[in-house]
Chains A and B, each alone.
Chain A
């Protein structure tokens, strides 16, 4: 089984719909992150959490919200999806040592 699991892998949704992307991990890491990746723009941080009671906005949090349900689970929600939220979304975890990331397999989201 993957260390960091994202669901769904692919999703097509309509403008205005609410959608949740889920992430779970078996790494035992406290730190979890949500990024989106767009061609030519690289990885951009949406939200991050250093423990269950800690939630922080990243550089592009508008239009998104998150929930840290447990140490191993971190969900990203789009309250009212819009077409420019079409992107590849990655969840990642890191330990407090090296700080290197382990990424999930990604969710390809298309908003039509």
Chain B
């Protein structure tokens, strides 16, 4: 059974701080890692994805993979109140086309 675990939160950070969201996964054969942002009452939106071969930075967002400890992180620099949302992690194994989703971490950025 492939598992993807996220702390449900909420994670509360002040505006301008770095928000660090983590996601652990059980399958060592995982090769693709996705982060989705979901505002309350809205659909998930893909914001970052990385492969098992490296980290990625896109604007204020950085996704980092720690294969040895089997977790992937999403760092949000200069957090804004508009970043307040639930962040879903999804992990896909090399032998599967279907990702396993975590249940999400709620992030609150307060002014």
Which residues of A come within 8 Å of B, CB atoms? 31, 40-43, 45, 48, 50, 58, 90, 98-106
Contact = CB atoms under 8 A, between A and B. Distances in A.
18 contacts: A31-B97, A40-B103, A41-B103, A42-B101, A42-B103, A43-B101, A90-B44, A98-B32, A99-B32, A99-B34, A99-B92, A99-B99, A100-B34, A100-B46, A101-B36, A102-B46, A103-B44, A105-B43
Contacts of A100: 34, 46, 49
A99 B103 contact: no
A105 B42 contact: yes
Interface centre among B43, B46, B49 (most CB of A within 10 A): B43
Nearest to A48: B98
Nearest to A106: B43
Interface in B24-41: 32, 34, 36
Interface residues of B, number: 19
A85 B88 CA distance: 22
Nearest to A40: B103
A24 to B, nearest CB: 15
B87 to A, nearest CB: 12
Contact of B43 (A42, A50, A58, A104): A104
A106 B45 CA distance: 12
B94 to A, nearest CB: 11
Interface centre among A40, A101, A103 (most CB of B within 10 A): A101
A48 B98 CA distance: 9
B43 A43 contact: no
Interface in B65-111: 88, 90, 92, 97-99, 101-104
A45 B92 CA distance: 14
